[in-house]
Amino acid sequence: METDKILIAIVDDHTLFRSGVAALMNEFDELTVLFEAENGQHMQQQLARYPLPGVILMDINMPLVDGYEATKWIKDNHPQIKVLALSMFEDDKAVIKMLQSGASGYVLKESKPRELLQAIKAINEKGTYINEMVTGKLMRSVTDKDEGPNFTKKELDFLKFCCSELTYKEIADQMYVSPRTVDNYRESLFLKLGLKTRTGLVLYAIQNEIFKF
């Protein structure tokens, strides 16, 4: 039985990149690109003209209305649409801010077309996309909370601070501990969750509702 195609839109201010991604995604039988937009303001205009997409690929740095504001607007006005952030760099602050704004995952712009397809399918089917830096162990802990790890109060406090834009040094100041102690909390959580990055910790916290924005 033929499955329904996933309707997507692409919001990016770089015309060549945006058009290139659209052309590549249209080559996949599973996808249909509804529209392209050059920023968040243009996206709002396009949403009024077309059917609602299931997934929007969202650039971060754009003029007029950037990816953060555009994602917040989508979550407030069309919460059924999933936002998959596009990032040029593995910048913790940018990714965390996009997650805070309502994005359900992110991909790097250097990803291969089929990797982007898998991300779109995952976010459409499961509501979130966990990239290669977040291991299968995290996915299992998200989907089976009864078997989740045990955290100390300090580890939970640190995990909540990780969801802010504070640096590790600033987190140490807020917790009244040394930077080395904060490093220990981080490494302990990495070990318990099978993670390697702060982004993975933030995704875990958001998806398990440890900390709500």
> Which residues, 6+ apart, have CB-to-CB distance to 161 below 8 Å?
171, 174, 175
Cα R_g (the chain), whole angstroms: 18
Residue where one domain finishes, among candidates 129, 158, 177: 129
| Average of per-residue pLDDT across 123-134 | 69
Alpha carbons 127 and 102: distance in angstroms, whole number: 12
Q: Are residues 25 and 111 in the same domain?
A: yes
Tens-place pLDDT, residues 173-197:
999 999 999 999 999 998 888 887 8
Give percent of the chain above pLDDT 70.
85
Q: Please give the tally of structural domains in the chain.
A: 2
Q: Are residues 38 and 124 in the same domain?
A: yes
Q: Are residues 115 and 183 in the same domain?
A: no
Tens-place pLDDT, residues 23-74:
999 999 999 999 999 999 999 999 999 999 999 999 998 989 999 999 999 9
Q: Are residues 18 and 89 in the same domain?
A: yes
Containing domain of residue 186, as a range? 137-207
Query: The domain spanning residue 20 has which CATH number?
Result: 3.40.50.2300
> Which residues, 6+ apart, have CB-to-CB distance to 112 below 8 Å?
none
> Is residue 170, in this structure, part of any structural domain at all?
yes
